[in-house]
Amino acid sequence: MSRNLTADLAADLRNRIVDGVIQPGEKLPSENTLISEFRVSRTVVRSALTRLQAEGLVETERGRGSFALTPPAEGPTQAPGTRPVSSMEERLQMLDFRIGVEAEAASLAARNHSERQLKAVHGALEQFTANVSHPAHAMKADFEFHRAVAAASGNPFYTDCIAALGQTMITMPRPRLVAGDDRETRERFDQVVHEHSSIYAAIADGDPVAAAAAMRLHLSNSRRRLAGSARN
């Protein structure tokens, strides 16, 4: 019986990602490297990457390469109540969904947060800000910020929703996924920091209208940035 070369390659890369050998945000070996290492065709490599994209483990950016995403807690198995997000349309739909959910969560957080919860939001903001040069860490802190806001709402259903979406909800094809010192990349990162800071400030001030507006603006801008990256 002949080996399924696509399945073998996908399994190897999947294990590397799930085991943390390839970290979230880290670039996968190039197509040419994989072709040489596994002695397979370019078609096999692309088929394996497509399979991993469908599992939410890999994101491919045109002209940049393929990057590891944060795997679900129990590997690529789909969690109950969630659905795979791999196409650009699905990623934009995910952001549309998040705008509705997280704007209300931020509003409630402004009303209901405890001091401990507010410190958790601020801590995640600080971690995100400090990791401009470490995309994998920045992605994790980005997710922790949104999860902390949901927790501060005081409504466990918001917390459960964000937890079910998992860190892969942050997996957007954007230049900040790749560490870089160029001015444009830094400006994009600084803009996201500013948006997160505005959300935190409104929650800390106890202003539910401003908190909802700040979250809606942030996620709407994220949607715009994502759509723009697809056109580049």
What number of CA atoms fall less than 13 Å from residue 137's CA on the CB side?
11
What are the beta bridge partners of residue 67?
Answer: 27, 59
pLDDT at 193 over 90: yes
Distance in angstroms (rounded) separating the CA atoms of residues 170 and 143: 6
Distance in angstroms (rounded) separating the CA atoms of residues 78 and 84: 7
pLDDT at 2 over 70: no
pLDDT at 146 over 60: yes
pLDDT at 99 over 50: yes
Residue 200 vs residue 180, higher pLDDT: 200
The pLDDT tens digits of the residues spanning 5-30 come to 888 888 888 888 877 778 778 889 99
Question: For 154, left (φ over 0), alpha (ψ -120 to 50), or beta?
Answer: left
pLDDT at 77 over 50: no
Nearest to 106 by CA among 219, 220, 213, 222: 213
Instruction: Indicate the Cα dihedral angle 77, 82, 87, 90, nearest 10°.
Output: -170
With cut-offs at 50, 70 and 90, classify the pLDDT of residue 71. Answer: low
Residue 128 vs residue 63, higher pLDDT: 128
The pLDDT tens digits of the residues spanning 154-190 come to 998 999 888 888 777 775 444 544 445 567 677 888 9
With cut-offs at 50, 70 and 90, classify the pLDDT of residue 90. Answer: confident
One DSSP character per residue, 67-119 reads EE-PPPTTTTPPPTT-----SHHHHHHHHHHHHHHHHHHHHHHHHH--HHHHH
| Per-residue pLDDT, 216 | 98
Averaged pLDDT for residues 65-79: 63
| Per-residue pLDDT, 11 | 83
Going by their DSSP bridges, the two strands 65-68 and 58-61 should be labelled as antiparallel
| Per-residue pLDDT, 68 | 84
Backbone phi and psi for residue 215, each to the nearest 5 degrees, phi listed first: -70, -40
pLDDT at 32 over 70: yes
Averaged pLDDT for residues 84-95: 78
Q: What does the block give as tokens for 43?
A: 């078609």
Rg of the chain in Å (alpha carbons): 19
| Per-residue pLDDT, 27 | 87
With cut-offs at 50, 70 and 90, classify the pLDDT of residue 125. Answer: very high
